[in-house]
Amino acid sequence: MSLYVILMGVQGAGKGLQAKLIEEHFGIPQVSTGDLFRAMRARSDDLARKVQDIMASGKLVDDETTNAIVVDRLTQADARNGVILDGYPRNQAQAAFLESHLAEKGARVNAVLLLELDLYTAFKRAFGRVTDADGGSYNYYYNADGVDFAWTNDDSDCFPPRLEASLRADGSMLRRRPDDASADAIIQRIDTYLDTTRALISHFESGGRVQKINADQRIEAVWTDIRQALESL
Ligand code: AMP
């Protein structure tokens, strides 16, 4: 039997991290549209450049481009038994497209896990987030162990201070996503979530497929709730 799971929740709710745990435990791959778009950074064609500009602003990439990249990923061999969708669908048109695509394969969305988090915490999780080269995640506000953080003022006084972070163990610099470093891009993403993505909850609720998970807990506790929700399907 195939398993198609949608992880929903405002940015910073921990979708990416939990998707990795589901992937390891249930053996179905994480499909993150944000990661797929970020991977396009290595390309220099017009579409790739346009996508990077849209991402930096915190706005959504157009549905046609987004749906095409998802279908391409869903038809790869490792996705034949299902996937965990992280960051997709984000609006009604994408949800309708996904459902008809799955119906053509005789599959359906089995569960929607809604990771609930208050918006102030969501802001801090995004604004304070940095990652190392292996994908390890740290946070200025919540998880600063082993990391040296510094606010560096702009010499011209025209721009806000930059948050710089390095691993104490080896001095390597940590990376901050451009759309996390801009407060405006974070607010834009939260607004899009409230205005557009959140409406999908009632869309999927009508099919009784939404399970609410408290995302304001330790990673292990969130994971326990998610595992139980998926095992009860
Ligand atoms: P994320 O990593 O999920 O926060 O996504 C980062 C950025 O990628 C978003 O702010 C959008 O610009 C773009 N993006 C990711 N998923 C989608 C989607 N389903 N539809 C449109 N744009 C998306």
Query: Is the beta carbon of 88 within 6 A of some atom in ligand 1?
Result: yes
Q: How high is the pLDDT of residue 185?
A: 96
For the chain, the first-to-last Cα distance in angstroms comes to 12
Which residue lies with its CA nearest to atom 8 of ligand 1? Answer: 34
Q: Is residue 123 domain-resident?
A: no
Q: Which of 17, 18, 51, 60 to mutate to test the pocket of ligand 1 (most atoms within 8 A of CB)?
A: 60
Is residue 105 located within the same domain as residue 161? no
Is residue 168 located within the same domain as residue 188? no
Q: In what order do the strands lie in the sheet with 30-32?
A: 30-32, 82-86, 3-8, 111-116, 210-214
Is residue 194 located within the same domain as residue 160? no
The residue type found at 189 is R
Q: How far apart (Å, rounded) are the C-alpha atoms in residues 204 and 131?
A: 33
- Token code pair at residue 207: 């099919």
Q: How high is the pLDDT of residue 172?
A: 96
- Contacts of residue 227, defined as CB under 8 A and 6 or more positions apart, other chains included, come to 25
Q: Is residue 45 domain-resident?
A: yes
pLDDT in tens, 121-152: 999 999 999 999 998 999 999 999 999 999 99
Q: Is residue 201 domain-resident?
A: yes
Predicted confidence band of residue 31 (pLDDT cuts 50, 70, 90): very high
- Token code pair at residue 3: 């398993």
Across residues 79-88, what is the average pLDDT?
Answer: 97
Q: Identify the CATH number of the domain in which residue 82 sits.
A: 3.40.50.300
Is residue 1's pLDDT more than 80?
Answer: no
How far, in Å, are 36, 40, 51 from residue 43 at the CA level? 12, 5, 11
Is residue 139 located within the same domain as residue 209? no
Q: Is residue 145 domain-resident?
A: yes
Q: How high is the pLDDT of residue 40?
A: 93
Q: How high is the pLDDT of residue 135?
A: 85
Is residue 153 located within the same domain as residue 197? no
Give 169 Cα–ligand 1 centroid separation in angstroms.
33
Question: Does pTM top 0.85 for this prediction?
Answer: yes
Q: Is residue 122 domain-resident?
A: no
Judged by DSSP in three states, 148 sits in strand
Q: What is the dihedral of CA 209, 87, 27, 77, to 10 degrees?
A: 110
Q: Is residue 105 domain-resident?
A: yes
Q: How high is the pLDDT of residue 83?
A: 98
Q: Cis omega before residue 160 (within 30°)?
A: no
Is residue 17 located within the same domain as residue 112? yes
Q: Which of 36, 37, 66 to mutate to test the pocket of ligand 1 (most atoms within 8 A of CB)?
A: 37
The residue type found at 76 is Q
Is residue 171 located within the same domain as residue 92? no
- Contacts of residue 225, defined as CB under 8 A and 6 or more positions apart, other chains included, come to 213, 214, 217
pLDDT in tens, 46-71: 999 999 999 999 999 999 999 999 99
Is residue 207's pLDDT more than 90?
Answer: no
**Position in ligand 1 atom list of the atom nearest CA 58:** 10
Domain that holds residue 109: 3-117+183-231
Overall number of domains in the chain: 2
